[in-house]
Amino acid sequence: MAFSVSDFKTKGIRKGGARTALFAVELHYPTTISNSSLQSNFLIKGASIPASTVGSYDVFYHGKAIKIGGDRTFDTWETTIINDEDFALRKVLEKWIDLISDPKLNTRDTQFARANEKEGDNAGYKKDIKVIQYNKNGSEGPHYHFRNAFPTALSAIALDWASADIQEFSCTWAYDSWDQEKSHGTNVSAETGTEIFP
């Protein structure tokens, strides 16, 4: 097989390759949290396209292991956030975690703990997150939707007299599932692989 750079350009990365830096993250917040209009897409500087994992089981027949497809699993998701002097996004995320579990009493906020408040998809503290990949011409590429997400951990922010760096911190998220939007308004479910319509 001959090696051809022109073939690689036209058949391999014919669109020039997707760029790591061209993305934005859109957060949505529980209704009781102030600053819900905060533009997270300007402050979240690091994220990832989610992993895709399906477990497997070994079923044995006369000593021979046969692989059987198992359950879909969804790992936690990490974001890296720039901290501005007003600590705006940090405060919102701290408040969100406090609503889920009060730091003094270990109780859920009353708006999420009422008798008619449900868990699962209808839990008030869960909100969808969207990651948008951009193309080099500025148009939107694939969208990844994290369904029913909520923050589970905020990292420490290091302080140091010898440093002039701008502060950053990370936030860990749990979520029920993710799906990729093929075109605006039409998604491919991470659980079924079929088109779904939000």
What total of structural domains would you count in the chain? 1
Question: Could you tell me the residue range of the domain that residue 37 belongs to?
Answer: 14-196
CATH for 72: 2.30.110
For 31-69, the pLDDT digits (tens) are 878 655 567 889 999 999 998 899 999 999 999 999 999
Q: Is residue 98 part of a domain?
A: yes
Q: Is residue 3 part of a domain?
A: no
Q: State whether residue 74 is helix, strand or coil.
A: coil
For 177-191, the pLDDT digits (tens) are 999 986 555 555 544
Which residues 6+ apart lie within 8 Å of 4 measured at CB?
none
Q: Is residue 149 part of a domain?
A: yes
Is residue 111 pLDDT above 80, yes or no?
A: no
Tokens 């690689």, residue located: 8
More confident residue, 90 or 103: 90
Q: Is residue 177 part of a domain?
A: yes
Q: Is residue 165 part of a domain?
A: yes
Q: How far is 172 from 57, CA to CA, in rounded Å? A: 29
The predicted model scores a pTM of: 0.80
Q: How far is 49 from 23, CA to CA, in rounded Å? A: 10
Q: Is residue 8 part of a domain?
A: no
Is residue 198 pLDDT above 50, yes or no?
A: no
Q: Is residue 65 part of a domain?
A: yes
Of 181, 84, 86, the residue nearest 129 (C-alpha): 181
Q: How far is 15 from 159, CA to CA, in rounded Å? A: 43
